[in-house]
């Protein structure tokens, strides 16, 4: 385990915890298995199935961020991460194995720190295909609130662009 990199993760996240270690070990394992390096752009992609502490470690270790478009969320509540190396298209899904019953809640950080990633994660084929690279979209002004939003997120009501916040859902069929 790279202690210096771990300390960068702790500094970024704000504290040391088992959840952060989960993401740290997942990122290091994915890097080892797929030959990943820190991603300056979208070379590495992570699709996280949770929005918990571990995501912060993935950002620090692999350079996956929401702003660059290479950190995406498919929220299932599972401690699972899909990683892709974009150039080759190779990918994998890492699913955290259940913690043994003898490991108490406050002991998970130390338990995980002392384990090899292969002991912690089940390696699987990706369930979600490699997403396309991030695209740029022009903005449109909402006819209701007047705020601008990316055109791809707008709906049209009575021929006018309407943002997601102002869109009136069609409930007639929900009876």
Q: Look up the CATH number of the domain holding residue 33.
A: 3.30.1330.130
In which band, very low, low, confident or very high, does the pLDDT at 172 lie, cut at 50, 70 and 90?
confident
Q: Quick check: 73 and 47 in contact, CB under 8 A?
A: yes
Question: Structurally, how many domains does the chain consist of?
Answer: 2
**Mean pLDDT (whole number) for 146-171:** 92
In which band, very low, low, confident or very high, does the pLDDT at 173 lie, cut at 50, 70 and 90?
confident
Q: 19 with 60, same domain?
A: yes
**Is pLDDT of 169 > 90?**
no
**Residue matched to tokens 């952060």:** 20
Write down the pLDDT at residue 104: 86
Write down the pLDDT at residue 150: 95
- Domain housing 73: 3-124
**Both structure tokens of 160:** 């006018």
Write down the pLDDT at residue 56: 98
**Mean pLDDT (whole number) for 12-26:** 96
When comparing pLDDT for 156 and 170, which is higher?
A: 156
Average pLDDT, the chain: 94
Q: Quick check: 24 and 80 in contact, CB under 8 A?
A: no
**Domain at 157, CATH number:** 3.30.60
Instruction: Say how far residue 17 (Cα) sits from the centre of its chain.
Output: 18
Write down the pLDDT at residue 170: 76
């Amino acid at each position: 385990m790279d202690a210096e990199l771990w300390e960068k993760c702790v500094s970024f996240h704000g504290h040391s915890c088992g959840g952060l270690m989960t993401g740290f070990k997942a990122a290091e394992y994915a890097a080892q298995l797929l030959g990943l390096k820190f991603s300056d752009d979208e070379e590495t992609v992570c699709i996280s199935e949770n929005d918990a502490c571990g995501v912060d470690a993935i950002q620090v270790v692999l350079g996956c961020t929401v702003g660059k478009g290479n950190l995406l969320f498919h929220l299932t509540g599972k401690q699972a991460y899909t990683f892709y190396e974009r150039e080759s298209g190779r990918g994998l899904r890492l699913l955290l194995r259940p913690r043994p019953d003898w490991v108490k809640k406050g002991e998970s950080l130390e338990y995980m720190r002392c384990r090899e990633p292969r002991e912690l994660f089940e390696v699987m084929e990706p369930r979600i295909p490699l997403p396309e690279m991030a695209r740029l979209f022009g903005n449109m002004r909402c006819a209701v609130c007047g705020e601008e939003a990316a055109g791809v997120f707008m709906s049209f009501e009575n021929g006018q662009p309407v943002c997601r916040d102002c869109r009136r859902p069609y409930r007639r069929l929900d009876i």
